[in-house]
Amino acid sequence: MKTLKIDADIVALIISGISLAMSFFVFLRDCWHERFRVKATVVKWFASHVSNYPFFIWMVIQNDSKLPCSIIKMEIEFERHGHPIRAVGHGNKELVSTVHNNDQTREIYSLDYPLIIDGYQSVGGYFHFRSDIAHFNFEDQTVILKIVTNRGTKKQKIELKYGDNIMRAMQYRLGEINVTHDSTGKPIIFTTDEL
């Protein structure tokens, strides 16, 4: 019977190689889980006819990273007829609406910044934006949403659909408007959500 004699230096080299490979794997896995990833989903939005009043977008912002992040500012950008249009949101709670039910009054406010989102968590609510351009210019547009956080800036395309504007849905139900198709010719499905 033959015995296999392995040199101690070779064993040490093999163990060191395995340790190095495992360390590299753990490093890559941690980088993957800790990378900066946020995603926004638009639920509905609301714009008043009052001039110089902000418009509000109800969004859910998901932090798909293991590390928390803080939203510091949000911007919307798009181009219309060759001109850049921009709206900025700095937080600082804005009154969205006042709801009267029976003898109770409830005020709804937009979210305040900095807004901390823990790892693998999400937050939803109204985010407000101000622009020098009237809110109806944003309707039926695909815009670039820029989410500025303490970990970086994320740009994402979102749609501000005509039918998701709560004001337009209320006008449609009251018979004040009769728009049934968007600018691409698709039928508009008006939201049934209230504020």
pLDDT average, residue stretch 168-194 = 89
* 107-160 per-position pLDDT tens digit: 888 999 999 999 999 999 999 998 888 888 888 899 999 999 999 999 999 999
Instruction: Read off the pTM.
Output: 0.81
191: Cβ–Cβ under 8 A, 6 or more apart, which residues? 44, 163, 164, 165, 166, 169
* 43-95 per-position pLDDT tens digit: 999 876 665 668 899 999 999 998 999 999 999 999 988 889 999 998 888 88
Note the Cα 2 to chain centre separation in Å. 68
pLDDT tier for residue 2 given thresholds of 50, 70 and 90:
low
SS3 label, residue 108 = strand
Residue with tokens 């101000």, as numbered in its chain: 130
Sign of CA dihedral 188, 189, 192, 193: negative
Cα distance between residue 127 and residue 115, in whole Å: 11
Cα distance between residue 68 and residue 15, in whole Å: 36
